[in-house]
Structure 1
Amino acid sequence: MHRHPRRTAIAAGILLTAAFGATVPASAAPQSRQPSATALVVNARWGGHCTYDRLVIDVRGTMPPVAVKPVKELRYDPSGKKVPLAGRYFLEIKLSPAAAHDEAGRSVYRGPQLVKIHLPALKGLALTGDFEGAVTFGAAFHTKPVYKTFKLHSPERFVLDVRHANTCA
């Protein structure tokens, strides 16, 4: 029955080695360097249309969650200093988790830092923060903004459309 004891011993050794290799914890396995999962905010731009003004924020990587909320005034994060944009109404736009700088701390954001805009609804825009995993913008308006937001893909963009009276009629 045991015609080939040496072959049986070798086969058993191979099986034990394979079983042992399968039980090595993942933390002991070599790790490959993964690219940063943090979305990078690289630009902000705007345009006027007949019935709305559009603000677009360009993102490199996967689009993070975005929160838009009305605020009484705009403040820089983290200093808390007031943002010098004229307006009666303001929206804070926060992308998180996100950054406007790379892992070495160099800015990747190429858009405006603070700009006055002369559109029917949108009157100004400021990059108000790039701090602790969040990038924030402030938008200024003379009248209470009625807006909708959505995301576009390939490339990744966040869009804020602010309604106004028809300027093309």
Structure 2
Amino acid sequence: MKKFQVWFAAVLMAAGLGLVAPAPASASYCGLAWGSLEKSEPTMSTGKVTNVRTGQHYCFDRLVIYLNGPVEGYTARYVPTVVQDGSGFPVPLRGRAFLQITATAPAYDDGGNSTYNPADRNELANVGGYQTFRQLAWAGSFEGYSTIGLGVRGRLPFRVFTLDGPGAGSRLVVDVAHYW
């Protein structure tokens, strides 16, 4: 009887410490409750694309598209192949999944002068060492739309939002989670 009581006490202590019963499974990573379906706002923006940057965070990798005015419209979605604006030619990207991000804003001013002209259309930013991003490429700007192809390591959840600033400008932000 003494052995049973000792064994029973050990099982109760282990259960109390969470060693026997597993913790409940979480449906999201880092508390992120994003999905992988298309996100869009169809309004045309009055700002022009001026820059693109990336960053790494603990739970996600981030793409930021800078405009010199308000961001009012965008579309971000997973596609089988990212295509160039105007021509429809495929944009080759590294990765196992591809996000096509389109800002409803041109990368040229009213006189047709470029407001964003990347030095290397195939490598907008060095994303070597990022957990999720594999490649960021320029797909062009045509008839008021500017498109970026983002190669990622898999079809992971993402979110899209806008931020005001700096100054009179604004930013279109795309975060892609590291895990589900």
What is the TM-score of this pair, normalised by structure 1? 0.70
The residue aligned with 1:55 is: 63
Show structure 1 runs of 5+ residues with no match: 1-36
Distance 2:156 2:68 in 1: 28
Q: Which of structure 1's runs of 4+ aligned residues deviate more than 4 A? A: none
Distance 1:139 1:109 in 2: 17
Determine if the alignment matches structure 1 residue 71 to structure 2 residue 79: yes
The residue aligned with 2:171 is: 157
The residue aligned with 1:143 is: 154
The residue aligned with 1:33 is: none
Determine if the alignment matches structure 1 residue 125 to structure 2 residue 147: no
The residue aligned with 1:86 is: 94
Distance 1:42 1:154 in 2: 13
Count of residue correspondences: 128
CA shift, 1:127, in A, is 1.6
What is the TM-score of this pair, normalised by structure 2? 0.66
Q: Percent identity?
A: 36
Distance 1:114 1:130 in 2: 14
Question: What SS does the aligned partner of 2:48 have?
Answer: strand
Question: What SS does the aligned partner of 1:91 have?
Answer: strand
CA shift, 1:64, in A, is 2.2
CA shift, 1:63, in A, is 1.1
Structure 1, 87-96 or 102-111: larger mean CA deviation: 102-111
Distance 1:79 1:67 in 2: 19
Deviation by residue 1:63-122 (Cα, 9 ceiling, x = unmatched): 1211111100111111222212112211111111x1101122221115452216221101
Matched ranges for 1:31-46 at <5 A: 38-46=46-54
The residue aligned with 2:107 is: 100
Looking at secondary structure, tell me which structure has more helix per residue.
Answer: 1
Q: CA RMSD in A?
A: 1.7
Distance 1:99 1:91 in 2: 19
Looking at secondary structure, tell me which structure has more strand per residue.
Answer: 1
Question: What SS does the aligned partner of 1:99 have?
Answer: coil
